[in-house]
Amino acid sequence: MAGPMPFETGAELPPLEIEPLTRTTLALYCGASGDYHPLHVDTDWVKANTPLSDVIGHGMLTMAWLGRLITGNFRTEQISRMATRFVAPSRVGDRITCRGVVVSVDRTERGSAIGFELVAETAEGKTLATGSATIEIEHTTEEAPAA
């Protein structure tokens, strides 16, 4: 039989505070992700081609920060699933916090599956993304070696 449940519904991960968003970070993410759309990096282009007055951050960068919330607490291979709904784009200067709360704890063949609800929001309380993650925890082996 599996051991005791390591998490309880309602338990919160320590919030992850992201450094205020800079153009340098957006430029780095453009190069690293391969998504170098000018909407994320070129203010001149944004002003000339959209109703916006400045660049907006990548939704996938917000999702990557939510991923950091998880990798800061678990091994990457324990994350079996992550899902995100993009609600609003990030802006330069945003101070963003990522939060996660346990919403389900289910027994599996080898241990537990912990379900988290995730949210990324600005210091002003604007939600940028909501999501969920499932973490698999094996009870028999503490730290299973990677494949």
Partner 1 sequence: MTGETEFDARIGTVIQDFDVEVERGLLRLFARAIGETDPIFFDDEAARKAGYRGVVAPPTYLYCLSEDVPDPNAAIHAFGLDPADCVHAEQEIEQLRPICAGDRLHGETRIEDAFEKKGGLLKFVVTATRFTDPAGMLVGRLRTTIIASEAD
Footprint on this chain of partner 1 (rule: CB under 8 A) = 18-19, 25, 28-29, 31-35, 59-61, 63-65, 67-68, 70-71, 76-77, 79-86, 143, 145-147
Q: Which is nearer to partner 1, 5 or 104 (CB)?
A: 104
* Nearest by Cα to 99 from 6, 22, 11: 11
Shortest separation between residue 1's beta carbon and partner 1, angstroms = 25
Q: At closest approach, how far in Å is the CB of 124 from partner 1?
A: 21
d(CA 104, CA 115): 5
As a whole number of angstroms, the distance between CA 87 and CA 136 comes to 27
The structure tokens listed for 134 are 């499932």
What is the nearest approach in angstroms of partner 1 to the Cβ of residue 119? 15
